[in-house]
Structure 1
Amino acid sequence: MKSYPVKFVPILKERLWGGTKLHDELEKEIESDITGESWELSAVKGDVSVVINGDYKGKDLQELIDTYKGELLGEHVFERFGSEFPILIKFIDARQDLSIQLHPHDDLARERHNSFGKTEMWYIMQADEGAELIVGFNKDVSREEYTGHLKANTLTELLNYEKVKEGDTFFIRTGKVHAIGAGVLLAEIQQTSDITYRIYDFNRRDKDGKLRELHTELALDAIDYTKKDDFKVSYTREKNVSNKMVHCPYFNTDYMEVEGHLEHDLSQRDSFTIYMCVEGSAAVETGGVREQLRRGETLLVPAGADKVDIIAEGAKLLEVFIG
């Protein structure tokens, strides 16, 4: 396989709560004023990313995986996940509050939906004044107390609100109730799964005037009812090195702020590497091919690459791989 920085066509999703920041801030080519998500790297059936550059232009991510297997993914990644790409990469713009939701763990998702669970993380790229997230409960809650508040339409009284700013990072474990608040633009890294249990939606109606489906009963056995301050990620910001953010069984994410020329060794990494640019721009070179990566763009470096050269003046990148 030719190892070069592979870029993909963003898959843009209109959402009831979406806005215009994916266009205004990240220069995505959209006209809709309710675009909520840009799926940057996806092998979800029906939404498979297509290559936009180089030798593999026009091929989709699933074709590349099926053809090159461990050369693309990394041998140990292919042994573990087979031909299923293990993560999904997005940028999200919330003009309105998202619904309050949670995701089941792997065992429950496999039993009910024949799917992986969904562990995810968020990196805040921009936040309006006063913008916040919902992450977890503000106290330990019993199942009975939870259902009582749900029936009384007072669930928000139990929830933990976190004000956010650029650079804040959150790790969302399965079972944790959560919601992205209005005015937040973020990068999301998650397990490949579209299994979401929506538990409260502020009584909003969709474009057809209908209330959106809630998953009240399914959620009851999936919720973590305890108060845990285990979601805010603390990380260093040393320049020209990989600063550990989130390392978990499903993905590793490091923060990289590049000033000048960084020659980054990948020879000991048996995994593909993804770079998301969250600020500034950079030139990324491997296999003799150089690609520009600007804010709001994502690229994939195949596992076969021994090193990558990054040239930038203060670009901020998220580096994602499987440990």
Structure 2
Amino acid sequence: MSSTLERHAVAVGDLLVGDGPAVMIGSRVSLRAHGGRADAYEVLRDRVTLAEPHSAADLPAIAELADAVVVGASWTRDIPLVRAAAGLGLPVVVERRPSAPVEEWLGLADYCASEGDGRVILCEGARRHSPTGRPGQAVGRWPDLGLMRAARMISGRPVLADVSGDLGLSAAAVAAGADGLIIDSAGPESAADPLAALRVAEEAVTVVGALLRPEAPATVPECRAAIDRVDAALATLLEQRAALAGIVQRIKPVGGFAGRDMARERALVARMALRAPSLGQARLAPIMNAVIEAGLHLAEERAAP
């Protein structure tokens, strides 16, 4: 098992996986889906983010047209192919074999790192393909988010969660520590509204990521992008708070401004100051007063005939 505790980040094309914001990867191609009967150059054509070979014959095309090579969950024990894929000079995405323990998964990642240039990313919740290569034979499995989180903490390597089978898991995956989400480029097959389902993943990366992922931007554009993510999370929370405050106003015997509980508001600010000590109560008090008043005005407007 890897004992590397230093946090790693791996560049995959224009994406940096493992440092800063969570990322979304929507370009993943598996040549195994074609059962070895398709020309790799023809299948890949334009540059893709992740590519999984069917055999060593596919590796030259992947080296030329992909940003990273995938060691697929269904063939992690094909050591000659694993060795050849790891030696391409590309970042290597190592999927966990179904039912494989974390020790086996991280051991394979270490092997790929030693056979390549060290740029290795873990992936949980992959899709597998039947050897027939017939369309519709892709089989997904639910990601084990607890195991994924443990692997990330033990190894220090970045980790991706493949949530193509259920984008509803996106928020949970980011909260569990996923550095990125893999979204099938064809879209979630079972979703009634694929675009709406995709927005669920985008919101998870933006909002949940802003709340839970530490960032250390180094440039002004990076700082502004990080602030934009925090502002998106803040706006989402403010909207939710306003909705809850409206419910309270309908339930309270005395609502509106007349029903304000100033002692409760002071206690609220004091609790918030524990989470935001650099702002402190003096700075938080006017902010929360403005938030509370905005919610009360909104509740009055909605109650007006």
Which of structures 1 and 2 has the larger relative contact order (alpha carbons within 8 angstroms, sep 6+)? 1
User: Which structure has greater strand proportion?
Assistant: 1
Q: Same fold (TM over 0.5)?
A: no
TM-score tier by shorter-chain length is under 0.3
Length-normalised TM-score, structure 1: 0.25
Length-normalised TM-score, structure 2: 0.26
